[in-house]
Amino acid sequence: MVPFWARLRHVKWFKSVLNGVNATAIGLVGAACVILWEAAIGTAADAMVFVLAGTLAVVYNIGAPWVVLSGGIFGAILSREALSLGQVEWCDLVNGGEP
């Protein structure tokens, strides 16, 4: 199987196909992030954890286990049971405080 893929890597049309598949995969991951954002973000604290995890993964290239661990710790600190920071409804912030 490996020699087959090694030969295909040098075929021009196959390289173009792989570039298209990669672009499609990136678009689908981006769409999934938007869908997750709408479904999972209820408070400003949720948004902060989401942005922190994304920044650690994309900008700083931190491994997934560390991103999950840091997101969990940050989320626990911001939870209602701990410091209750950022527990303002997200829609209230976006709408300028109006319901």
Q: What are phi and psi of 20, to 5 degrees?
A: -65, -40
N- to C-terminal Cα separation, the chain: 60
Give the pLDDT band (50/70/90) at residue 96: low
According to DSSP, residue 62 is labeled -
DSSP helix/strand/coil, 82: coil
Task: Quick: pLDDT tens for 9-38.
Answer: 888 998 899 899 999 999 999 899 889 888
Helices (H), 1-99: 2-8, 12-40, 44-58, 64-78, 90-94
Report field, pTM of the whole predicted structure over 0.75: no
